[in-house]
Structure 1
């Protein structure tokens, strides 16, 4: 049965809210699950030595949206494609020092751009956080920026820092 308005008129239709493409893109971005960056450490085996450079690189898993990937979904009545457009990385070395934010995702020996030299032995928890900006498009149209950014805390990785000691034998 149609509802009566306060003035006694019969209302046959319910007003359906309309959303702009920008609102749909913002909703798609804020509800997206982004992949957490892991730490790829060199030398391999998650053990390094004091006084020598340790190389760090961001590594993304298979779950969630990673930099360079895109996803298309229907949100608030719009077909929206979103993708992370750029990333800034913050390296947490676990000894109280950090590096970044920087656009450098790191790399491996000998050409990796993100290294850290530990001064003391011990176990440290390293982590790389990534801050993503994004773009969206509606129905295959032109890419447009999504306002703001999203920071994803990385997965911690334990690193053992050892001391290389030389011993003279008689």
Structure 2
């Protein structure tokens, strides 16, 4: 009987299970607080000015990107993917969109056409437009598989100031570029 106990104690002990991210509690956005998304940019068409009652086109420059660092003492990466854009046009109007916007020529539309991110100012003034980009996050440790994290991370883009002026249109019977000073050309 003593011999049986000795044989049992000589058997190799099973290895402890490998530690993987899935064996931890889920990673949260708070765990990723040291990983910050890149600041987005903001542009407008026309650039810096517009006309009352015409569409002004706004475009957020944000893309999927990876930020490296350390998570729980191990080499890690966080991938940020833009999911939504929260616009504040500076005149009390806001909008949320799933797209960052694009230039009129890229969209294949005429200048001052409405877009998913455009805005019409109803009065003259100087308005500061901002956009907050909401990113989804995924992480990986030591080059492993990407694991999604619940929730979103928000990052404000640079602001754009737009001067809004009124404009009058004049109909002319002919091309005024060569006939300035005549009765039908200002």
TM-score between the two structures when normalised by the length of structure 1: 0.73
Q: Report the count of equivalent residues.
A: 143
**Do the aligned residues in 2 keep the contact of 1:93 with 1:125 (CA within 8 Å)?**
yes
1:80 is aligned to 76
**Counting strand residues as a fraction of each chain, which structure ranks higher?**
1
**Do the aligned residues in 1 keep the contact of 2:37 with 2:67 (CA within 8 Å)?**
no
1:39 is aligned to 42
Q: 1:127 and 1:115 mapped to 2: Cα distance?
A: 13
SS of the equivalent of 2:33 reads: helix
Q: Deviations over 1:93-130 (max 9, x none)?
A: 11100110x22101111425321111111100100111
1:59 is aligned to 61
Superposition deviation, residue 154 in structure 1: 2.5
Structure 1 gaps, min length 5: 1-18, 61-66
1:146 is aligned to 149
Q: 1:24 to 1:130 in 2, by over 3 A?
A: closer
**Do the aligned residues in 2 keep the contact of 1:89 with 1:128 (CA within 8 Å)?**
yes
1:30 is aligned to 33
**Do the aligned residues in 1 keep the contact of 2:28 with 2:150 (CA within 8 Å)?**
no
**Do the aligned residues in 2 keep the contact of 1:86 with 1:132 (CA within 8 Å)?**
yes
2:167 is aligned to 164
